[in-house]
Structure 1
Amino acid sequence: MRLNRIATIWFASALAGSAAAPALAQTPYDGLWNVTIMTSSGSCEPTARSTLSVADGKISGAGANVSGSIGNGGLVKVSINGAYANGQLNGNAGSGKWNGASAGIPCSGRWQASRQ
């Protein structure tokens, strides 16, 4: 349940902050990404889907405790309200793992992303 709330805040905030994104990407992974988060263990929501914006290789969201980056090689590292995700982007797709908690019970799973 907390994962769904975290994912919704993270992705909605990131999308809202992308409205003024520059026309030319500053890094190879800048732009809008469709992200699906899947829980494989714990009591978090089974899946959550949303859109994420990356600008200058930075993952951020207005009004949410989000920090992270995507390196030029596509390495993803992000923290969202105490949940952590990492993985790899390659071209217009990527995947990785995440871990966090819901009501103090650990949750973990995988994520997948594709560029819009």
Structure 2
Amino acid sequence: MRRHRIGLALFASVMTGVAAPALAQSPYDGLWTVTIVTSSGSCEPTASSTLTVADGKISAPGADVTGSVGREGLVKVSINGAYANGQISGNSGSGKWNGASAGIPCSGRWQASRQ
């Protein structure tokens, strides 16, 4: 269960049921579908989630997500000891993530697309 939460929480682990603001405050505001793929370790092999970016801040209902997307598309996210970073441009993006499952390190890549 913890393995699954780490993956989904990152791209919470990249936000379900929250509407995008009518007037976006940053160029990347909106709903994003994020898919993570584990390349090393025992975390969930693959997981997808929907995240919300509002005024450049990343959130997901029911998840303790801290993250942001800068004006140039730089993504930085942390959740429960797992971290991700990368770049988005236009309506897509990608990057790397790392965390742990039962104390065993795991890592991989993520891809996102704006809905």
TM superposition score normalised by structure 1: 0.88
Partner of 2:85: 86
Q: In the TM superposition, what are the counterparts of 1:16-95 in structure 2 within 5 Å?
A: 16=17, 18-19=18-19, 21-95=20-94
Query: Residues 89-116 of structure 1, C-alpha deviation per residue, up to 9 Å, x if partnerless?
Result: 0100000000000000000000000111
Partner of 2:5: 5
CA contact (8 A) 2:28 2:69 kept: yes
In structure 2, distance between residues paired with 1:40 and 1:7 = 12
In structure 2, distance between residues paired with 1:102 and 1:6 = 8
Secondary structure at the aligned position of 2:16 is classed as helix
CA contact (8 A) 2:3 2:42 kept: no
What RMSD in Å do the two structures reach over aligned CA positions? 1.8
Of residues 60-69 and 99-108 in structure 1, the stretch that sits farther from structure 2 once superposed is: 60-69
Cα displacement (A) at 1:2? 2.8
- Residue identity opposite 2:50 in structure 1: T
Partner of 1:15: 16
Cα displacement (A) at 1:23? 1.1
CA contact (8 A) 1:3 1:100 kept: no
Greater fraction of residues in helix: 1
Cα displacement (A) at 1:50? 1.2
In structure 2, distance between residues paired with 1:103 and 1:48 = 18
TM superposition score normalised by structure 2: 0.88
| Aligned residues between the structures | 113
CA contact (8 A) 2:30 2:52 kept: yes
Gap regions ≥5 residues in structure 2:
none
Gap regions ≥5 residues in structure 1:
none
